[in-house]
């Protein structure tokens, strides 16, 4: 068996390296460099096996020349040569990531996978845990006298098969054409061989750029082949798990969408990313291969399109998934495979856990929002994703479940629908419903909020133990994914959302009343999801990342209400993704923040309550998926949590209660999966 399940490599502080394995399935060589990195670099640095799969030959127009070439049309067309050059570039980039040597040697072999699909497998000789798999499907429409060839058409069935291309110099022999079922069979076989803990893919539901409701004409923010590669990846994972494969953690990353929003990587992180893009682009051209050292259409201009300056997980997660139950025990929630799972402390403050216990009901995307209701029962909110052969058949559904009693099992998932339900173009609008956040009003009713197709916010309010009111539109525009909500000291619900230029703020006009129109906080546009926490004393603290630095910014509500215009910088060594927060009500009180930094590891910071800020962060080495979380246990000790890339719950707990007290080491909960 050629796959290395538990490889070793360069050491990293993370202790998850021996149990994690990554499989990423993308469309083109360079998708992982543009859209997934720096997460790929973090995975390689950890020493875990990393297998990258490229579905398309990516032959484009066959001209391996810069876009600004004075006469590109005069460059000879060589589809096989251009595909080979791009593979030269991606191998060089991975060699640089793994060994610091872009010229490092590779072993290249041909293998026929299940389904009769031949692939080329490249193994990095000096780091054999790093492997690249090329399917070489022709997915371009560059030849005028041939019909268009698109991976999306293969998925939908309008194209019966796609031909493969043999790149120049490849060890592949004869290649043919392959249908949808063959491709899915081959991908499922790869999953069985690799046995990944994490599968990374592109965005299955990209945002639209423009939409004409009258004609139905819509333009999406991403490449159709990117989207189709995500469909194939998700379906292969579903088949793998249904056949008995272990549940995997799914991570989807946005593609061209990145260019439309504030950039979320700091200068140092992007400089490292751009250096790899330059190598992929064949800079310098000294490899000696006549087809080219890389993708000269990218060259050293990988920064120009503007989408490499960010790394946006499609489902950023929320920091709400770790909380204290009514009986004092902590409970943690995650999505393993496509099912919700729960870990619970065996007794309050013990630091010992049971789980994960599986909650019945499949099809969830990797985002859960958890809160304790007025009746002390835990409510979970998630999104069920339905894939269909036709894009119009895809949909997203908001779902919720609640404990039968405090600390008890969860009941069946209840379908709360989608803000687009009932619209004449619902099949289009349903695809872009965002991830839920929720809060409990002063009257004890739960209210849930999501981003809608119009990039505003929609909401539903609980009207009874098992009933909900209709969808309401709260307004807003150009809202980013990653809402933040809380119940303020006076009982009113307050909601926050980042836009391209600032932060929108909604609040109830009166306790339990309707929401006012959103106001704008004149602060820099956040580079990702927001977090809001009610500090000891009742003031709200709003936390988000600064564009183009990844630093953490904090905005503290003024005494008596109102908001300043200049957020304080908490620094934090960059990173991307949400910042989790929890208020600590004693000795003398404050807020603990947990986040991912530029190394991919977790960092923690104590913030004093209601006065000043701290720029001090402590960093540990746990690599994780989604968002970290933080809560206070029954003994007043702060507990940070993360779902590690090995699929286990990891926690770090204060040695004793008190602001600023040291945390113990991160430890993992050994999985003992059962039905919840």
State pLDDT tens for residues 534-543.
Answer: 998 899 999 9
Cα–Cα distances in Å, from 112 out to 24, 55, 86, 240?
19, 15, 22, 19
Q: What percent of the chain has pLDDT over 90?
A: 85
Domains of the chain and any CATH numbers: 22-280 (3.40.50), 322-675 (2.120.10.70)
Residue 415 has pLDDT above 90, yes or no: yes
Question: In angstroms, rounded to a whole number, what is the distance separating the alpha carbons of residues 587 and 580?
Answer: 21
Residue 606 CB-half CA count within 13 A: 17
In 3-state terms, what secondary structure has residue 664?
Answer: coil
CB 459 within 8 A of CB 448: yes
Closest CA to 27 of 118, 146, 150: 150
Residue 611 has pLDDT above 60, yes or no: yes
In 3-state terms, what secondary structure has residue 247?
Answer: coil
DSSP string, 74-87: GSPP-HHHHHHHHH
Q: What is the DSSP letter of 466?
A: T
Question: In angstroms, rounded to a whole number, what is the distance separating the alpha carbons of residues 530 and 549?
Answer: 16
Which burial class, exposed, middle or buried, applies to 41 when counting CB atoms under 10 A from its CB (0-12, 13-18, 19+)? buried
Query: What pLDDT, in 10s, does the model give residues 275-309?
Result: 999 999 999 999 999 999 999 999 999 999 999 99
Residues 6+ apart with CB under 8 A from 145: none
Residue 672 has pLDDT above 50, yes or no: yes
Q: What is the per-residue pLDDT for 2?
A: 27
Cα–Cα distances in Å, from 301 out to 92, 223, 275, 298, 521?
17, 19, 11, 6, 36
Question: In angstroms, rounded to a whole number, what is the distance separating the alpha carbons of residues 665 and 381?
Answer: 31
Question: In angstroms, rounded to a whole number, what is the distance separating the alpha carbons of residues 79 and 57?
Answer: 9
Residue 5 has pLDDT above 50, yes or no: no
Whether the bond between 309 and the residue before it is cis, its omega within 30 degrees of 0, is: no
Residue 8 has pLDDT above 70, yes or no: no
Q: What is the per-residue pLDDT for 676?
A: 58
Q: What is the per-residue pLDDT for 610?
A: 76
Q: What is the per-residue pLDDT for 108?
A: 98
Residue 594 has pLDDT above 70, yes or no: yes
Q: Encode burial over 325-339: b for 16+ CB neighbours within 10 A, e otherwise.
A: beeebbbbbbbbbbb
Question: In angstroms, rounded to a whole number, what is the distance separating the alpha carbons of residues 7 and 10?
Answer: 10
Tell me the pairing of strands 467-468 and 457-464: antiparallel
For the sheet containing 624-632, what is the strand order? 624-632, 638-644, 649-653, 667-668
Q: What is the per-residue pLDDT for 146?
A: 59
Q: What is the DSSP letter of 462?
A: E
Whether the bond between 356 and the residue before it is cis, its omega within 30 degrees of 0, is: yes
Q: What is the per-residue pLDDT for 637?
A: 95
In which band, very low, low, confident or very high, does the pLDDT at 531 lie, cut at 50, 70 and 90? very high
In 3-state terms, what secondary structure has residue 427?
Answer: helix
Query: What pLDDT, in 10s, does the model give residues 69-99?
Result: 888 889 999 999 999 999 999 999 999 999 9
Mean pLDDT in residue range 518-531: 95
CB 520 within 8 A of CB 491: no
Report the chain's terminal Cα–Cα distance, integer Å: 36
Question: In angstroms, rounded to a whole number, what is the distance separating the alpha carbons of residues 487 and 464?
Answer: 19
Query: What pLDDT, in 10s, does the model give residues 178-226?
Result: 999 999 999 999 999 999 999 999 999 999 999 999 998 999 999 999 9
Mean pLDDT in residue range 492-516: 95
Closest CA to 549 of 596, 592, 598: 598
In which band, very low, low, confident or very high, does the pLDDT at 148 lie, cut at 50, 70 and 90? low
In which band, very low, low, confident or very high, does the pLDDT at 12 lie, cut at 50, 70 and 90? very low
Question: In angstroms, rounded to a whole number, what is the distance separating the alpha carbons of residues 241 and 648?
Answer: 17
Q: What percent of the chain has pLDDT over 70?
A: 95
Residue 53 has pLDDT above 80, yes or no: yes
Tell me the pairing of strands 552-556 and 568-571: antiparallel
DSSP string, 267-323: HHHHHHHHHHHHHHTTSS--S--TT-SS-TTTTT-TTTTSSTT---BSS---TTSEE
Task: Kindly report the average pLDDT of the chain as a whole number.
Answer: 92
Residue 481 has pLDDT above 50, yes or no: yes
Q: What is the per-residue pLDDT for 4?
A: 27
CB 276 within 8 A of CB 97: yes
Which residue bears the tokens 């503290």?
A: 556
In which band, very low, low, confident or very high, does the pLDDT at 588 lie, cut at 50, 70 and 90? confident
CB 521 within 8 A of CB 507: no
In which band, very low, low, confident or very high, does the pLDDT at 23 lie, cut at 50, 70 and 90? very high
Query: What pLDDT, in 10s, does the model give residues 362-413?
Result: 999 999 999 999 999 999 999 999 888 776 678 899 999 999 999 999 999 9
CB 553 within 8 A of CB 540: no
Closest CA to 57 of 252, 295, 390, 401: 295
Neighbours of 417 (CB within 10 A): 17
**Helices 224-242 + 180-194 axis angle, to 10:** 60
Cα–Cα distances in Å, from 548 out to 130, 471, 543?
30, 36, 16
Q: Encode burial over 166-180: b for 16+ CB neighbours within 10 A, e otherwise.
A: bbbebebeebeebbb
Q: What is the per-residue pLDDT for 147?
A: 59
Tell me the pairing of strands 414-417 and 519-521: unpaired
Q: What is the DSSP letter of 518?
A: P
Mean pLDDT in residue range 114-135: 98
Q: C-alpha angle 228/314/295, rounded to 5°?
A: 55
Length of the chain: 676
Mean pLDDT in residue range 561-582: 93
Which residue bears the tokens 């876009």?
A: 67
CB 142 within 8 A of CB 61: yes
Residue 228 has pLDDT above 80, yes or no: yes
Residue 572 has pLDDT above 90, yes or no: no
Alpha-helical segments (H) within 110-216: 151-156, 180-194
Residue 544 has pLDDT above 50, yes or no: yes
Mean pLDDT in residue range 606-620: 87
Cα–Cα distances in Å, from 432 out to 44, 500, 620?
32, 18, 35
Q: What is the per-residue pLDDT for 528?
A: 94
Question: In angstroms, rounded to a whole number, what is the distance separating the alpha carbons of residues 610 and 595?
Answer: 21
Q: What is the per-residue pLDDT for 619?
A: 82
* Contacts of range 390-395, beta carbons closer than 8 Å, 24 or more positions apart: 390/156, 391/152, 391/156, 391/431, 392/427, 392/428, 393/427, 394/204, 394/205, 394/430, 394/431, 395/427, 395/430, 395/431
Alpha-helical segments (H) within 502-595: none
CB 625 within 8 A of CB 334: no
Where residue 338 falls (left for φ over 0; alpha for ψ -120 to 50; beta otherwise) is alpha
Q: What is the per-residue pLDDT for 144?
A: 52
Q: What is the DSSP letter of 480?
A: P
């Amino acid at each position: 068996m050629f796959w290395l399940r538990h490889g070793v490599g360069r050491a990293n502080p993370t202790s998850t390296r021996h149990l994690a394995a990554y499989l990423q399935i993308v469309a083109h060589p360079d998708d992982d460099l543009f859209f997934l990195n720096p997460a790929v670099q973090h995975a390689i640095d950890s020493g875990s096996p990393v297998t990258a799969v490229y579905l398309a030959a990516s032959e484009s127009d066959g001209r391996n020349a810069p876009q600004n070439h004075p006469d590109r049309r005069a460059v000879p067309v060589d589809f096989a040569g251009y595909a080979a050059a791009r593979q030269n570039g991606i191998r060089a980039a991975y060699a640089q990531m793994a060994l610091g040597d872009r010229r490092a040697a590779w072993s290249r072999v041909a293998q026929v996978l299940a389904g009769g699909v031949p692939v080329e497998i490249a193994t990095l000789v000096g780091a054999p845990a790093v492997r690249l798999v090329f399917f070489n499907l022709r997915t371009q429409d560059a030849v005028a006298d041939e019909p268009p060839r698109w991976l999306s058409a293969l998925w939908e069935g309008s194209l019966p098969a796609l031909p493969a291309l043999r790149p120049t110099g490849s060890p592949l022999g004869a290649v043919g054409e392959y249908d949808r079922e063959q491709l899915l069979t081959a991908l499922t076989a790869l999953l069985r061989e690799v046995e990944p803990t994490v599968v990374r893919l592109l965005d299955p539901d990209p945002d639209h750029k423009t939409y004409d409701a009258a004609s139905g004409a819509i333009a999406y923010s991403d490449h159709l082949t990117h989207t189709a590669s995500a469909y194939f990846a998700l379906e292969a994972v579903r088949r793998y798990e249904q056949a008995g494969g272990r549940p995997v953690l799914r991570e989807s990353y946005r593609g061209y969408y990145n260019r439309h929003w504030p950039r979320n990587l700091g200068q140092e992180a992007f400089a490292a990313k751009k250096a790899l893009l330059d190598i992929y682009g064949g800079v310098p051209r000294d490899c000696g291969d006549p087809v080219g050292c890389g993708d000269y259409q990218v060259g050293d201009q990988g920064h120009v399109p503007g989408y490499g300056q960010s790394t946006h997980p499609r489902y950023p997660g929320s920091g709400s998934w770790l909380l204290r139950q009514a009986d004092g025990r902590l409970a943690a929630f995650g999505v393993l495979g496509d099912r919700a799972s729960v870990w619970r402390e065996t007794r309050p403050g013990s630091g010992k856990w049971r789980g994960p216990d599986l909650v019945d009901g499949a099809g969830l995307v990797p985002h859960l929002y958890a809160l304790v209701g007025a009746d002390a029962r835990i409510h979970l909110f998630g999104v069920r994703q339905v894939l269909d052969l036709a894009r119009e058949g895809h949909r997203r559904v908001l779902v919720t479940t609640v404990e039968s009693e405090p600390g008890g099992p969860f009941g069946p998932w209840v379908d709360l629908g989608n803000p687009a339900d009932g619209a004449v173009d619902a099949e289009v609008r349903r695809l872009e419903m965002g991830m839920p956040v929720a809060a409990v009003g002063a009257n004890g009713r739960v209210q849930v909020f999501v981003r809608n197709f119009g990039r505003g916010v929609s909401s539903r309010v609980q009207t009874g133990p098992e009933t909900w009111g209709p969808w309401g539109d709260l307004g807003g525009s150009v809202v980013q994914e990653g809402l933040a909500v809380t119940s303020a000291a006076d009982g009113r619900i307050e909601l926050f959302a980042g836009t391209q230029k600032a932060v929108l703020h909604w609040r109830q006009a009166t306790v339990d009343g309707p929401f006012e129109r959103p106001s704008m906080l004149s602060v820099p546009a956040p580079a990702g999801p927001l977090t809001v926490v009610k500090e000891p004393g009742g003031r709200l603290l709003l936390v988000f990342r600064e564009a183009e630095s990844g630093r953490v910014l904090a905005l503290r509500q003024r005494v008596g209400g109102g908001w300043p215009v200049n957020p304080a910088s908490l620094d934090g060594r960059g990173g991307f993704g949400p910042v989790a927060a929890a208020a600590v009500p004693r000795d003398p009180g404050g807020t603990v923040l947990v986040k991912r930094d530029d190394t991919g590891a977790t960092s923690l910071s104590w913030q004093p309550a209601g006065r000043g800020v701290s720029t001090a962060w402590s960093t540990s080495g746990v690599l994780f998926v989604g968002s970290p979380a933080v809560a206070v246990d029954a003994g007043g000790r702060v507990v940070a949590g993360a779902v590690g890339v090995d699929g286990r719950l990891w926690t770090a707990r204060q040695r004793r209660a008190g602001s600023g007290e040291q945390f113990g080491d991160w430890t993992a909960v050994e999985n003992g999966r059962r039905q919840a």
